[in-house]
């Protein structure tokens, strides 16, 4: 990790403002979802990119009950279930 030298305070609702330079460099726009990770005492924010819940694949996704699944995972699950499905 590298330091940006930027320090921000939380407001009374626990919010922070990301500087415009960071948003431009990381291509983060208004209303973009950010994923939050915690590693011991470190908070990490990353622009959220939906991925297949099984493989992490980010192409050819289908949403089912709020989860993203790639078409290749769906076909593999069908094969495991003994279904013969052609593409």
Q: Are strands 42-47 and 34-39 parallel, antiparallel or unpaired?
A: antiparallel
CA distance 53 to 73: 9
CA distance 59 to 80: 21
Q: What is the CATH number of domain 1-49?
A: 2.10.260.10
pTM: 0.57
How much is the pLDDT for 67? 87
pLDDT digits (tens, 9 = 90+) for 24-71: 998 999 999 999 999 999 999 988 888 999 998 989 999 998 889 999
Confidence of residue 87 (pLDDT cuts 50, 70, 90): low
Residue-range domain boundaries for the chain? 1-49, 50-87
Q: 62 is written with which tokens?
A: 């289908």
């Amino acid at each position: 990790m590298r330091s940006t030298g930027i320090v921000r305070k939380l407001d009374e609702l626990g919010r922070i403002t990301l500087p415009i330079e960071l948003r431009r460099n990381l291509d983060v726009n208004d209303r973009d979802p950010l994923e939050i990770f915690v590693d011991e005492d470190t908070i990490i924010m990353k622009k959220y990119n939906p991925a297949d819940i099984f493989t992490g694949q980010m192409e050819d996704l289908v949403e089912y009950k709020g989860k993203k699944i790639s078409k290749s995972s769906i076909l593999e699950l069908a094969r495991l279930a003994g279904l013969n499905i052609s593409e």
